[in-house]
Amino acid sequence: MNEALTAETVMMKGHGGDQVEAYLARPDGTASFGGVVMIHHLPGYDSSTKEMARKFAAHGYATLMPNLYYRDSPGESPDDAAAAARAKGGMPDEQVVGDVAGAAAYLRGLPGSNGKIGVIGHCSGGRQAFLAACSLPFDAAVDCYGGAVVRVPQGAPASFKPLIGLSKNLSCPLLGLFGADDQFPTPAETAELSRTLDEFSKPHEFHTFAGAGHAFFRVDGPSYRVEAAVEGWDRIWTFFGEHLAGKA
């Protein structure tokens, strides 16, 4: 692995055929690679999430992160765009799924794609990664502490529904990475999700890290937990290596 990569902003076709901005990071000098759709967290299409996209490319995966807030906030800073999206009540699930589908199609169409595509998200993006994996064909999905899968927080918009009822539609193996001290989702909720996936014989592996709460991967905030994050990354590389790597 030489870790050489190219990263750039591209335009892709999203939900409803809309042109949507996206951040593409892909490995250089690799003849065949898998793809990863990265779903940004509620604070938006920000630098720390783009850094994660580059990390995936350095590990050999073409990664595309659509800017879910682009329609209403083209060219705006990520924090302003996130605030505007919040003021509007958030992104409709249907639109997110459409944008993720567009990103997956874009990755499949890249020269060198091996046709295997995964999806990953953190926080709200973790919830949306589960949603996408229950709505679209994927080869692997990673939910990093996605809340509101089993239980919707008090005060959430009325349109916001729990997703556990979609479990029977999960299209691919699921890796779940959670913090033992997290309240959304709690360990009891992720255990309930695991039991539900078992009922439908859906392959999954969940890891709950002691001493970690929500957002333990976030390197630019105090929630970062080095032990959980390092082990979490190792779990991701093993999981994607099993399901996304290899030649077409």
Partner 1 sequence: MCTYSTAHVPAAGSGKGPDGWFRLREVSVYLDHPVHALADHTLNIDFINPARGPSARVAVELTAQTARDLVRAIESALADAPPGLV
Give the x-and-dash track for 25-54 against partner 1 (CB under 8 A): ----------------xxx--x--------
When the beta carbons of 83 and 180 are compared against partner 1, the nearer one is 83
Stretch touching partner 1 by CB under 8 A, among 1-9, 98-106, 199-207, 213-221: 213-221
Stretch touching partner 1 by CB under 8 A, among 189-197, 198-206, 214-222, 226-234: 214-222
Placement of tokens 């046709």 in the chain:
115
Choice from 115, 153, 165, 211 touching partner 1 (CB under 8 A)? 153
Choice from 2, 6, 19, 77 touching partner 1 (CB under 8 A)? 77
Tell whether residue 221 is a contact of partner 1 (CB under 8 A): yes
* Binding footprint of partner 1, residue count (CB under 8 A): 37
Q: Shortest distance, CB of residue 195 to partner 1, whole angstroms? A: 22
Q: What would the two tokens of residue 60 be?
A: 């050999």
Give the x-and-dash track for 88-127 against partner 1 (CB under 8 A): -xx--------------------------------xx---
Placement of tokens 């898998």 in the chain:
34
Query: How many other C-beta atoms are found inside a 10 Å radius of the C-beta of residue 97?
Result: 17
Measured distance CA(181)–CA(196) in Å, rounded: 22
Choice from 1, 8, 154, 158 touching partner 1 (CB under 8 A)? 154
When the beta carbons of 39 and 62 are compared against partner 1, the nearer one is 39
Tell whether residue 189 is a contact of partner 1 (CB under 8 A): no
Q: Shortest distance, CB of residue 73 to partner 1, whole angstroms? A: 5
Tell whether residue 84 is a contact of partner 1 (CB under 8 A): yes
3-state secondary structure the chain: CCCCEEEEEEEEECHHHCEEEEEEEEECCCCCEEEEEEECCCCCCCHHHHHHHHHHHHCCCEEEEECCCCCCCCCCCHHHHHHHHHHCCCCCHHHHHHHHHHHHHHHHCCCCEEEEEEEEEECHHHHHHHHHHCCCCCCEEEEECCCCCCCCCCCCCCCCCCCHHHHHHCCCCEEEEEECCCCCCCHHHHHHHHHHHHHCCCCEEEEEECCCCCCCCCCCCCCCCHHHHHHHHHHHHHHHHHHCCCCC
Q: Which residues bind partner 1 (CB under 8 A)?
A: 41-43, 46, 72-73, 76-77, 79-84, 86-87, 89-90, 123-124, 147-148, 153-157, 160, 182-184, 213-215, 221-223
